[in-house]
Structure 1
Amino acid sequence: MTRKDIPNLISIIRILLIFPVILALLDHQFGLAMVLFAIAGISDALDGFLAKHYHWESRLGSILDPLADKLLLVASFATLTWLNFLPNWLLWLVLGRDIMIITGALAYHALFGQYKLLPLWSSKINTLLQILLVFAVIVQHYADLAIQDWVETGISLVIISVIISGAEYIIVWGRRAWQQHQNN
């Protein structure tokens, strides 16, 4: 292993943290869940910073990092929905966006071959807002804080960011597909 592999190792650790986070949530050990989720959330920023700052970016990292994010967030949203801490429809909205992006990427790959999927800024903001919402819900139940207004605001912001980032992916990748089609 070299230094260049550190961001990928951090992404793998984030994936490995998913199961303990979910178990802690299901067991109502919100303090432990909060700490583990915070570590996972911070690791998302850390691996990206290291990869960009030190030019340690890799094809594997471009797959592992968003995969780790999606797995962590979908598992967390599903668990918090199961516990009735988040509404069902929000889980389906988040999943719908992710399924749309994955389906679009697979279709683009099938039609035009390999491509470099770079996350859009709206997607990065969406991921950050989802992380903050999950963290707020966990903190709310750990500390028994009356922050329901914050959670509801977080839900509203996630809804907006899911819609905007989903629409932006459709526009950007639709335009690229159209340009590829015109060039062929």
Structure 2
Amino acid sequence: MTLPNLITIGRLFLVPLVVAMILEGRWQAAFVVFVVAGVSDAVDGILARRFGMASELGAYLDPIADKALIVSIYITLAFVGAVPAWLVVLVVSRDLMIVAAVMLAWFIDKPLVMAPFAVSKLNTVAQIVFAALLLGVRAFGVDPGLTVEVGQLVVALLTLGSMTAYLALWLRHMAA
């Protein structure tokens, strides 16, 4: 059990906490916990790479923790009316498509290892930053101006780009 893996597991434990805080309208606390969870995603990766602490367990845990955090936050934010449903459908559909593609490839005995693309890493960062923005706006009562609309567009475009990249990889793999 490496330090990056412990950080990732800690992020998993933060997911239900931040969801509960959002549902209770505890916006400042939700913002802080979410930012800690988001920063932990970067920290565990940096530690794993820089100090040679990468592990097979971490390779599985990290994307699970990312998906749990992002999907849970976006669904919860839609539930309280902070994010449009169409964006949540897009974000969740991307993750479901990736999981379904990997499972189908495994099921038909053509296992596929998916390493993250640059657009997917950017997508994850954009999704986390946008969720933090939405929480921060509610937590601190700031007027975001057009930032929310621009954030929605950036998240939507990066999610579509990531979805397209993974679909193309999967199609090439299945055709091979």
Normalising TM by the smaller chain, what interval? over 0.9
1:100 corresponding residue in structure 2:
97
Question: Structure 1 residue aligned with 2:130, among 130, 133, 139?
Answer: 133
C-alpha RMSD over aligned residues: 1.2
2:27 corresponding residue in structure 1:
30
TM-score, normalised relative to structure 2? 0.95
The Cα of 1:122 is off from its aligned counterpart by 1.1
1:54 corresponding residue in structure 2:
51
1:41 corresponding residue in structure 2:
38
Question: Structure 1 residue aligned with 2:106, among 109, 113, 132?
Answer: 109
1: distance between equivalents of 2:117 and 2:108? 21
The range that moved more, 40-49 or 104-113, is 104-113
Instruction: Give the number of the structure whose alpha-carbon radius of gyration is greater.
Output: 1
TM-score, normalised relative to structure 1? 0.91
1:91 corresponding residue in structure 2:
88
2: distance between equivalents of 1:130 and 1:148? 19
1:70 corresponding residue in structure 2:
67
1:168 corresponding residue in structure 2:
165
Sequence identity of aligned pairs in percent? 34
The Cα of 1:156 is off from its aligned counterpart by 0.4
1:152 is aligned to 2:117: no
Structure 2 residue identity aligned to 1:49: I
The Cα of 1:113 is off from its aligned counterpart by 4.7
The Cα of 1:101 is off from its aligned counterpart by 0.6
Q: Which runs of 5+ in 2 are unaligned?
A: none
1:14 is aligned to 2:11: yes
